[in-house]
Amino acid sequence: MTGPTGNSGALSHLRVLDMSRVLAGPWAGQILADLGAEVIKIERPGNGDDTRAWGPPYLRDAQGQETTEAAYYLAANRGKKSVALDIASAPGQELVRSLALHCDVLIENYKAGDLARYQLGYDTLRQLNAGLIYCSITGFGQSGPMREVAGYDFAIQATGGLMSITGERDDLPGGGPQKVGVAVADLATGLYATIAILAALAHRDRTGEGQYIDMALLDVQVAMIANMNMNYLVSGKVPGRQGNAHANVVPYQVFTAADGQLVLAIGNDGQFAKFCELAGSALAREPRFQKNADRVRNREQLIPLLRDVLRHKTVAQWVGLLQPIGVPVAPINDLAQVFEHPQVLDRGMKIELPHPLAGTVPLVANPIKFSATPVRYERAPPTLGQHTREVLQGLGVDEEQFRQLQAKGVV
């Protein structure tokens, strides 16, 4: 099998075998593809990645008819080649082993120990390819009493403490735990997995040695609670939900203006003084509000006073007044407003790629901006099995062998 060809991205010398599905693993695979790696996605014949069925909405063709491509699937699989392969069959397992022999990285998110049953675990594959970076992503990791429990983002947000600090306070209308609006445990695990893979590749560059990476959604969820973790560990006090307010900074929350809502995110005393001066308020001169620590302690007295100040101007007026003087303020945009925002447009965060079923597909760009190896977008999220014949031909599978594999349901 020949090496990766095509773009000159930072990782264009690498080949990745993506055996993951849904979000955390595919997100990591998509990032690597954006950076230039050749990413081969293994999917179940007939069904494919679970998220292919997670619709509507589905991508529509030029006539406005729904295609088979769910928006959720499209979000995490740009730049990959899809190979439909039954890894429960002996021929399918042998083909995966052949692919792994020619890959630098393997990403999988099967339950702990599942791939080892098919002789596709790390201990087997490293005998074939000593330089292989093998990244396993599970809900709870490869060790511990919950290693065999399936992990879902919603459950991880609950188990890992995020929902205990997300949502309105229990004493307010609508109070109670809330999940974040996107699957942040999955997404953050995909990011951490990408970092781990790149670090393992750097180690291999020096030593020639591959390695095994054990990523758990719960570990990542616990780690990413960040300052709230430390608030608890330092004080011994379990933090609760504060809605859109900040535990350590005041004022830092949503306020209602004359015509809608805005975010005021004042991060230091100088910004608070600027805000008060522009707003014609003497609050910054009051000892109980001068320092952030004072404002945190006296939050319940300050916030009603600020609400009264902010309700007299529109969102646009406050943004126009405060942004130029360096006071953090922002409107609360919906996604239509986001993709029409002049800054988002200028940064090229919406792209389109040719698609075999729909003509084109709209996608969200990678946020990384390189000076020497820019991200290139050369391949839309693949249809199921779109590249099966191409990839297997690279392994030496001829047309007759391919037809035999089709007849057996292997591909």
Please provide the CATH number assigned to the domain covering 252-332. 3.30.1540.10
Coil, helix or strand at residue 224: coil
3-class DSSP assignment, residue 290: coil
CA distance 30 to 37: 9
Count of CB atoms within 10 A of residue 399's CB?
9
pLDDT digits (tens, 9 = 90+) for 142-162: 999 999 999 999 999 999 999
Interstrand relation of 329-331 and 261-265 (parallel, antiparallel or unpaired): antiparallel
Q: Provide CATH 3.40.50.10540 ranges for the chain.
A: 15-223+346-407
pLDDT of the residue at 107: 98
For domain 15-223+346-407, which architecture applies? 3-Layer(aba) Sandwich (3.40)
Model confidence at 95: pLDDT above 90: yes
Sheet harboring 105-108: ordered strands across?
80-84, 38-43, 15-19, 105-108, 133-138, 211-216
The C-alpha atoms of residue 218 and residue 403 are separated, in whole angstroms, by: 43
pLDDT of amino acid 2: 56
The whole-number pLDDT of residue 169 equals 87
Residue ranges, comma separated, of all CATH 3.30.1540.10 domains in the chain are 252-332
Whether residue 356 is preceded by a cis peptide bond, meaning omega within 30 degrees of 0, is no
| Distance separating alpha carbons of residues 254 and 330, to the nearest angstrom | 10
Is 186 catalytic? The answer is: yes
Active-site residue, from 171, 186, 269, 346: 186
C-alpha Rg value of the chain to the nearest Å:
25
User: Do residues 355 and 291 make contact, with C-beta atoms less than 8 angstroms apart?
Assistant: no
Q: Kindly report the number of other CB atoms within 10 A of residue 39's CB atom.
A: 32
- Evaluate the omega torsion of the peptide bond into residue 56 and state whether it is cis, within 30 degrees of 0: yes
| Residue 135 pLDDT > 70 | yes
Ranges assigned E (strand) in 169-276: 211-216, 252-256, 261-265
Structure tokens at 13: 């010398």
- The answer to whether residue 354 scores a pLDDT higher than 60 is yes
Residue 67: how many CB atoms within 10 A of its CB? 16
Question: Could you read off the pLDDT of 37-86 as tens digits, one per residue?
Answer: 999 999 999 999 999 999 999 999 989 999 999 999 999 999 999 999 99
pLDDT in the model for residue 172: 83
